[in-house]
Amino acid sequence: MKIPFTKMHGAGNDFIVVDDRALTFPVAGKGFIARIAARRTGIGCDGIILLQPSDAADLKMRFINPDGNEVGMCGNGARCFARRAFDLGAAPEKMAIETGAGIVRAEVLGDQIRLTLTDPSDWRMGLDVGQEQPVDFVNTGVEHAVVRVDDLDGLDLPKLGSGIRHHELFAPAGTNANFVKVEADGTLSLRTYERGVEAETLACGTGATAAALVAARQGWVQLPVAVHCAGGYDLTIDSGDGGTTLSGGATTVFEGEVEYGDWI
């Protein structure tokens, strides 16, 4: 079976996007998923996104991490989902997307996609995880820990990020770990260690949202705020009566097809 796909990225967060409205993608094939997600021997991605039918919204998004495990939400992934759905003619400019975290809304605004997320929940501030700085926590569709630091470049991110990701306070599911610097101009710079990828990614939409919401709650910045991601792209986070929004680009890189099986 040949599976057509589109390689996309949102702020450097890259995905394999599959039009699965026929419900034929082998979601149980964790070995296959891991192989196509591998960067040196596969297509390479931070996650696999499936466009599927929905009874509750215009379309349903399923998001699968490179380890084959499914998670409820991905902010940059949902923006790429919206771009692809619109380009396919499968959804209008303003669309509702069913996710594992609930219904989110997206709007295509030229080369930008604005995503309205589910309400943040499970706020936990000032947690002690055995590091120098306290950790704040919020669920923005998936779990995120946020740590304020003064030096992003000097971080041992694999060690620090993994330590927070697996800390007992966040068991059993674990958490994503975000390290944020407040810049002099009132913007934020961010590095993220992502659960499921088990490494740093060039951007994380729900992580950028978590960092911005924590920073606003702590009084470090005011919304709307630009978040500078590790890959060199910016995301904009805002919050108002309509909910929390995440805005940024969503780019198609290339299209192809992969043969389902034990090798690629």
Identify the DSSP state of 42: S
- Do 218 and 233 form a contact (C-beta atoms < 8 A)? no
Q: Which residues pair with 199 in a beta bridge?
A: 194
Q: Known catalytic residue: 229?
A: no
**Separation of alpha carbons 131 and 149, rounded Å:** 11
Given the residues 45, 74, 80, 229, select the one marked as catalytic. Answer: 74
Cβ-based neighbours of 162, under 8 Å, separated by 6 or more: 177, 193, 198
**Separation of alpha carbons 90 and 82, rounded Å:** 10
**Separation of alpha carbons 36 and 202, rounded Å:** 19
Q: Which residue has the tokens 């609930």?
A: 102
- Do 168 and 175 form a contact (C-beta atoms < 8 A)? no
Cβ-based neighbours of 217, under 8 Å, separated by 6 or more: 123, 125, 136
Which residues are annotated as catalytic? 74, 204
